[in-house]
Copies of this chain bind each other. A is one copy, B any other.
Amino acid sequence: MKDTDDKLTSRNIKPTAMRELVLDILTEQTAAISLSDLEQKFHKSDKVTLYRTLKTFEENKLIHSIDDGTGAVKYALCKESCQCHPEDLHVHFFCIKCQHTFCLSDIPIPSINLPVNFSIENINMVVKGVCSNCNE
């Protein structure tokens, strides 16, 4: 668990057994997962502990949260270099067939021209459609 521990400590998160487990699960995922998805990966687990673990991870920018419009917030690992700044923002994709939510980490959110006197802090962009796996 040395690598997992390093990832945690490098984000100033104390490496507990629980947190190692959660980070390992998050690392395995190819799609973003919700709190209840995560809960079901454990045989016995406490939702609140997982909830607070995700909160801690997010506050320390180990993961970012995605509101994909399904009603449950999804979480995915940040890249090593990510500081969750505007320049780290990317488009997310929700597949209406497999119901999976993906980070399109290579697709930055296009800039838009707001009306005068509007200032930007953050942008959420979620594309809904069918993913490459589900397109035949």
A132 at the interface (CB under 8 A from B): yes
List 14 contacting pairs A-B, 8 Å CB cutoff, sorted by A: A93-B118, A115-B132, A117-B131, A117-B132, A118-B127, A118-B129, A118-B131, A119-B129, A121-B130, A123-B125, A123-B127, A124-B126, A125-B125, A125-B126
A44 to B126 Cα, complex, angstroms: 37
A122 to B107 Cα, complex, angstroms: 17
Q: Are B91 and A118 in contact (CB under 8 A)?
A: no
Given A91-B112, A107-B113: A69 and B118 interface contact (C-beta under 8 Å) = no
In A39-88, the 8 Å CB interface with B consists of 67, 69
Count of A residues near B, CB < 8 Å?
Answer: 30
A116 at the interface (CB under 8 A from B): yes
Q: Are B122 and A129 in contact (CB under 8 A)?
A: yes
Q: Are A96 and B124 in contact (CB under 8 A)?
A: no
Q: Which residues of the partner chain B approach A110 to less than 8 Å between Cβ atoms? A: 110, 112
A125 to B128 Cα, complex, angstroms: 11
Given A67-B67, A67-B69, A69-B67: A114 and B123 interface contact (C-beta under 8 Å) = no
In chain B, what residue has the closest Cβ to A126?
B124
Q: Which 7 A-B pairs have the closest CB atoms?
A: A117-B132, A110-B110, A122-B128, A120-B129, A121-B129, A125-B125, A117-B135
